[in-house]
Structure formats: structure tokens, C-alpha cells
Structure 1
């Protein structure tokens, strides 16, 4: 599965933004003492821009920038044969970013997403508000080559509480309460009960600042 396949599977911009925010909240509850969490969300990343990101600690990551024009999606699989580190010229694989429209060119060259000026990208999609679907470049992949799109974005493609529970139980090596996950996936505010169900080792008061920074609602005043 490549960018071609996930273009038809990713949610529309509003739903994608909501899902990214929920993933960041869940990681904040499950991993409150880690400042470099797997999923993050910054609603004030830059003027008029919000950033959802995922980093696995092994050099693989994605960034999704929500702007007034729409959304820009960048994925990077550092072991992909189309990584800039694997190409002869040290540049993104032909077609990956070549046709990104002008409204998103700043994101392609954003220093946070580059290495000495070279975009760290193997997957690139974008969608303007008027688009009916996600778009990607015209890419000639090497035989059997993958760009990492399938596993980098698997939780966004599936989009179900059950998929997150499966992933989180494997990643954190602990049980994860499915009903608590469903509560947040439904867009309902974070509560003391949900925090306790997900992680008895923390409290809503302890993580309230993080949740406010993510921009997710909290029910009542954390005790």
C-alpha cells in the first residue's frame, strides 16, 4: 500500500483533525511523563496552522499541517527505498513532492520536516478545502517498493477505537480500556473517570495543562 492507496482511505480534513487530536489526548493520558510522545497535537504550531505529528523513536514519522487552505500530509519511512537517503541524488523520489500546489509549498520546505534543506519525505498527500479527495503526485515506484504509507498511517486509515486499543496494548504493554477509548473517539470531553480507566497512575489534574494545550475539552474542573 502506498500514497495512491491511502488517498482513498484517509478521512476528510475535519474528521482527520478530530482523530489526530484524540490520539494525542490518549497518549497524554497513557504516557503522561514522556515529553516526546508517539502522537502529538499542537493547535498553535504556527500562525493560522495546527500540527498533528507521530514519531516512533526510530526515525519514522508523519506530520499533518492543517492550514486555512486545507491540509498537508508528510510521511517518512527511513528504510523505504524511495527515502532521500536511499536515492542517488539525495533528493525526494521523483513525483513525491513535485506537484504539491503553491499553497502547501512552505510545508514541503519547512525546516522541521527537512534535513539540511532536503525534505525528509516518502509519502506526501494534500487536500484543499474544495477538493473531493486527497491528492498525491505522479510517482513511478521501483518494483515492489513501499513508501511506508500503510503502516505509518494505519490508525488514521482504520479510525476505530478497537484499532487504537490493539496498537496501544502492544506499544505500552498494558491493558487499555476500550470503553474509555470509545468515549474520546466519540468526541466527548475528558473526565476523571476516563483518565482513571485508562491510567490509574495519573489524574486529570496532573495532565490538565497538556490536554488544554492540545485543545481538547475537559468535563468540569479537574480535582
Structure 2
């Protein structure tokens, strides 16, 4: 059986609204657990009307999701993947990687902010125009022993269970993580002091609440006792 690639990923990605909510939740959870070294980040209003989510694991692997009114553009970079543009000089994309990308989203691979030294570093790309019912990708093909990174880069994003994030966080941040508190954030429930306190004994609630609002995440209105 061959390795999972972007062709499997496009069938597993949730609808854009669900994906957006998960990206927000991931950024908030990381900020609570360890604001100094978050893996997941989210920028609300990165450009006018455009939100940006990204993941960097500190080992050279990353993904970015662009939420544009015209649709969603998602890409990942697995530095050990067969599809790495660094496999040849000068760098080149895996054949078919961006073939079929609609004009409405075509500005993102050429956006300087999303390039590395003037090149769009990506091993896996997918997109979904607003109004479309399915995710799309280019006509890439891989041998059985070749991967583009889709088999692991997006595990937390595509799994609807908050346990996947809790398992990741316990391993990455090297601390126990309360699964119920994770589930509350994952479900988009308004952030409470209790949720923050359960997840972190050192996080400052007011600071986290401010970050949550910046992310577009709801914070519970507190009634003084």
C-alpha cells in the first residue's frame, strides 16, 4: 500500500468553516499551553478580509492555510519529502503541484510573504474555491515509496477528535494536558478562566483572553460574583 498523499488529504479535509474554527482553536490552545513556542498560529486580518493559519514544528516542516473570501488555499512543506523543491538545483516544484489552481487564489504562491528566498517552498497543495463542494489538488503522482508530507503534516487538522491534539500537545510540550479543557476549546465554546487555569497554571487569563479576541475566538462574559 502506498503512502497517503494529497489525493487522500483532499477527501479528509473538513469544510472551510470547520477548518477555520480548528485553526483558531489550535492557535489558542498553543498560546495557553506555551505562548513562547507555539507550533500553531493564526492571524486574523492578515490581509484585508483574509485570515492566515500556520504551523511550524521547529524541525523545518510547516503548513499554511489562507482563508480568502474567494476560497481557501492550503499548502505544506515536509523537508524530508520526495517532493521537496530542494531535490534539484535550482529549486523546482513536484510536477503538477499547482496545476489547476484557480485564478482567484493564484496570487498566494507568488506572494513574497509566503516564499522562502524568492521561491514558494511546498510539497503538498490543496484548495477549495468558495461555493465549491470539494477540495481540489493538482494532478501529482507518486511512487509507492514516495511521500509529499500529507500523510502526517495535517493529522491534527483533519481529525475531528480533540484527543489527537491532546496527544500531540502532551508529547510536544512535555506536560499532561486536560482532554476536557482541550475539547471545550476545540468545540469553540467561549473561553473561561477555568479552561485556561486547567490547561496552564502559569498562563495569565487576561493576556490569553486578549489573544483569543484577536484570533476572533469568543471569550465568556464574566458576571462578578
**TM-score range normalised by the length of the shorter chain:** over 0.9
> How does 1:41-52 map onto structure 2 within 5 Å?
41-52=42-53
Equivalent in the alignment of 2:173: 172
* Cross-structure match for 2:197: 196
Q: Deviations over 1:173-202 (max 9, x none)?
A: 111001111111221111000000000112
Question: Which residue does 1:216 correspond to in 2?
Answer: 217
TM-score by length of 1: 0.94
Cα deviation for residue 213 of structure 1 reads 1.5
How far residue 113 of structure 1 moved from its aligned partner, in angstroms, is 2.1
Q: Any runs of at least 4 consecutive aligned residues in structure 1 with deviations exceeding 3 A, and if so which?
A: none
Q: CA RMSD in A?
A: 1.6
Whether the 8 Å contact between 1:205 and 1:222 is mirrored in structure 2 is no
Partner of 1:53, secondary structure, is strand
The alpha carbon displacement at 1:142 in A equals 4.1
**For 1:171 and 1:85, how far apart are their aligned partners in 2?**
27
CA distance in 2: counterparts of 1:138 and 1:102, whole angstroms: 17
Deviation at 1:98, TM superposition (A): 2.5
CA contact (8 A) 2:191 2:209 kept: no
Is 1:15 the counterpart of 2:18 in the alignment? yes
- Pairing of 1:148-187 with structure 2 (within 5 A): 148-187=149-188
Aligned length in residues: 221
**Residue range with higher mean Cα deviation, 110-119 or 43-52:** 110-119
Give ranges in structure 1 of 5+ residues lacking alignment.
Answer: none
Structure 2 segments unaligned to the other structure (5+ residues):
none
The equivalent of 1:130 in structure 2 is: 131
Quote how far apart the aligned CAs of 1:115 are. Answer: 2.1
* SS class of match (1:150): coil
Deviation at 1:112, TM superposition (A): 2.2
Q: Deviations over 1:22-50 (max 9, x none)?
A: 00110010012x1x520011111011210
Counterpart-to-counterpart distance in 1, 2:188 and 2:144: 42
CA distance in 1, matches of 2:144, 2:187: 41
Secondary structure at the counterpart of residue 149 of structure 1: coil
